[in-house]
């Protein structure tokens, strides 16, 4: 099974950029779909974007389209989430998750989760 560790969160101002990273170990990374989720205080978790083993992305949150970009480097066992033009409403804990099932990439559940990284955007 795969272990996932997120990094790259922080406190930024509106309009700034951040690049989150999800590092994987313990599994055959290039077989996993990877998703990024976020959860703001008092709100339900949102599915932001997913990327399949071949590097094709699928966005689930309209509010981030054109601002967030997901990518993966299978040689380095990492997935990145480049976040540009950040807004206060992007403030949340961001989680990456992995699963071998193609259904996960299509919006299903994920079996393996990281611990999350906090992103705070001030106005």
Q: What is the mean pLDDT of residues 3-29?
A: 96
Q: In this predicted model, what pLDDT tens digit does every residue of 35-72 receive, in sequence order?
A: 999 999 999 999 999 999 999 999 999 999 999 999 99
Q: In this predicted model, what pLDDT tens digit does every residue of 74-122 receive, in sequence order?
A: 999 999 999 999 999 999 999 999 999 989 998 889 999 999 999 999 9
Q: In this predicted model, what pLDDT tens digit does every residue of 56-65 receive, in sequence order?
A: 999 999 999 9
Other beta carbons less than 10 A from residue 85's beta carbon: 13
Residue of 103, 119, 120 whose CA lies nearest to 35: 103
Residue 16 CA to residue 83 CA, distance in Å, equals 8
Phi/psi for 66 (5° steps) reads: 90, -15
Q: What is the DSSP letter of 39?
A: E
């Amino acid at each position: 099974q795969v272990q996932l560790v997120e990094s790259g969160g922080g406190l930024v101002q509106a309009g700034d950029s951040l690049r989150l990273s999800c590092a994987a170990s313990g599994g055959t990374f290039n077989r996993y779909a990877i998703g990024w989720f976020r959860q703001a205080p008092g709100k339900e978790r949102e599915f932001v974007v997913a990327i399949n083993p071949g590097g094709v992305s699928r966005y689930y949150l309209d509010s981030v389209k054109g601002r967030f970009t997901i990518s993966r480097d299978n040689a380095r066992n990492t997935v990145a989430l480049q976040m540009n033009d950040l807004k206060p409403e992007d403030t949340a804990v961001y989680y990456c998750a992995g699963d071998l099932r193609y259904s996960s990439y299509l919006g299903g559940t994920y079996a393996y989760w990281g611990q999350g990284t906090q992103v705070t955007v001030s106005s």
